[in-house]
Chains A and B, each alone.
Chain A
Amino acid sequence: QSVLTQPPSVSGAPGQRVTISCTGSSSNIGAGFDVHWYQQLPGTTPKLLMYGNINRPSGVPDRFSASKSGTSASLAITGLQAEDEADYYCQSYDSSLSGYVVFGGGTKLTVL
């Protein structure tokens, strides 16, 4: 059971827009801690996709965007492409138990 909750799977057709939610609580996202997102293509290492809630590292297409509100965050992908099929993870920090880094359980994106 992950501290941050993500849907196990989402899907969309090429060209469509999909969103992936990351739901936390008052001790992590709701406490103001930043949310970061990672993309893990099949058989590869996770790669930083978004950081500091809304920021894209250089090289990440602007089809990817993210937001945060209250105790939740979301990742949006527009103009879906086959190459976007991957697992996506959110990450934040939880202030309970003297504080620790937390990940969401991951969401498998399938491009139909």
Chain B
Amino acid sequence: QLQLQESGPGLVKPSETLSLTCTVSGASISSSGYYWGWIRQPPGKGLEWIGSMYYSGGTHYNPSLKSRVTISEDTSKNQFSLKLSSATATDTAVYYCAIIKRWLLAEGWFDPWGQGTLVTVSS
């Protein structure tokens, strides 16, 4: 059974880089046809797609965050990670990792999701 688990600091200072890791079990992140991605949800607000990485390493980012986001993989640990630079209070959110199991990102839906982790940006 495919499962995802986010991990990382729960508190980040303004202007610093927010870094999270998603550990995958039940499948290899090198599996073809999978997009490994991140979604966030500010407290009391809706969902926002941050970006997704294809199994071969190609990345797709939300245009509104593209200049600050990097998604990368560590195949040796079966993990993928998120880095969001120059964090501000508006980046405070629950961050989810989630998978799209389709050959095309445009066709895909997110399933399953990790349980999410709250990251607060504050001094």
Contact = CB atoms under 8 A, between A and B. Distances in A.
Given A46-B47, A46-B96, A100 B109 contact: no
Interface size bucket, A side? 20 to 34
Interface in A33-90: 33-34, 36, 38, 45-48, 51-52, 57, 89
B18 to A, nearest CB: 20
Nearest to A35: B109
Contacts of A105: 46
A96 B112 CA distance: 27
Interface stretch (B7-15, B73-81, B113-121): B113-121
B52 interface: yes
B48 to A, nearest CB: 7
Given A101-B52, A101-B108, A103-B46, 9 more contacts: A45-B96, A45-B114, A45-B115, A51-B109, A95-B106, A97-B63, A99-B105, A100-B61, A101-B49
A28 to B, nearest CB: 10
Contact of A91 (B63, B110, B114, B115): B110
Interface residues of B, number: 23
A100 B49 contact: yes
A18 interface: no
22 contacts: A36-B109, A38-B110, A45-B113, A45-B115, A45-B116, A46-B96, A47-B113, A89-B47, A91-B47, A93-B107, A97-B63, A99-B60, A99-B105, A99-B106, A100-B49, A100-B60, A101-B49, A101-B62, A101-B108, A102-B49, A103-B46, A103-B49
